[in-house]
């Protein structure tokens, strides 16, 4: 796994940190009106961007998926020397999300351990369980197929997460459930995170709140997007 800079710190307090490490910090003061305003704005932007995604043709989505697969191969080769022997968490696509399942099969055949995220407890970080071609999937939260609960639980070295939008500071606009936000907070710097989305999703800002955590990379069909250099 990559050697991360130990001096790096989150730009904001991790989501659910009091539950993960009780007493670690006192809750910060929150402007409740601003929080409500940001929540309403995000809901509207989320709906707008998801509508743009849903309007894409099947052929267009397939082309986006093919481009993302190529960029991911290059990223894994350049940054992780192919990632053989590592745990790679992907995702099972729903709605109009890019379909990367073919890459999951390819990486598994190349000696990479594949995991998939699962919501096993509400308002808690995601759980990652081992996946392989032929795994008998079950219906999980939101009816998303997930590995069964007797599948091995893993901690990913590299994790993909679909996004709706993002900003140049490296913050993501997700689907509103906060599950990936909790994942990012719980895994801290153990895991290199790559957010997957469409090039139609850039925003000037998502107006980061206390639970938002910046990402390592944002990948769209045009390639890796530049985000701020962290100190």
Note the pLDDT of residue 10: 35
Note the pLDDT of residue 178: 66
* Better-predicted residue by pLDDT, 229 or 18: 229
Q: Dihedral of CA 172/169/69/133: which sign? A: negative
pLDDT at 193 over 50: yes
Note the pLDDT of residue 156: 93
* Rounded Cα gap, residues 228 and 211, in angstroms: 18
Q: pTM score, two decimals?
A: 0.77
pLDDT at 13 over 80: no
Q: Which CATH superfamily hosts domain 30-225?
A: NagB/RpiA/CoA transferase-like (3.40.50.10420)
Note the pLDDT of residue 3: 42
Domain positions in the chain: 30-225
Note the pLDDT of residue 205: 92
């Amino acid at each position: 796994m990559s050697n991360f800079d130990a001096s790096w710190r989150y730009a904001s307090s991790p989501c659910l940190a009091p539950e993960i490490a009780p007493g670690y910090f006192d809750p910060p003061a929150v402007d409740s009106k601003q929080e409500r305003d940001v929540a309403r704005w995000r809901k509207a932007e989320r709906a707008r961007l998801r509508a743009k995604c849903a309007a894409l043709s099947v052929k267009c989505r397939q082309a986006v998926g093919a481009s993302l697969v190529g960029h991911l191969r290059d990223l894994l080769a350049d940054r992780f020397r192919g990632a053989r022997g590592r745990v790679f968490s992907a995702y099972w696509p729903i709605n109009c999300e890019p379909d990367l399942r073919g890459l999951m099969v390819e990486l598994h055949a190349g000696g990479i351990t594949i995991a998939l995220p699962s919501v096993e407890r509400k308002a808690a970080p995601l759980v990652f369980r081992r996946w392989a071609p032929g795994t008998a999937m079950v219906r999980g939260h939101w009816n998303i197929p997930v590995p069964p609960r007797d599948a091995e639980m893993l901690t990913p070295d590299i994790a993909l997460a679909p996004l709706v939008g993002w900003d140049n500071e490296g913050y993501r606009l997700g689907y509103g459930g906060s599950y990936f936000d909790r994942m990012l907070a719980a895994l801290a710097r153990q895991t290199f995170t790559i957010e997957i989305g469409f090039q139609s999703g850039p925003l000037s800002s998502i107006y980061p709140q206390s639970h938002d955590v910046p990402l390592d990379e944002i990948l769209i069909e045009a390639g890796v997007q530049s985000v701020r250099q962290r100190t």
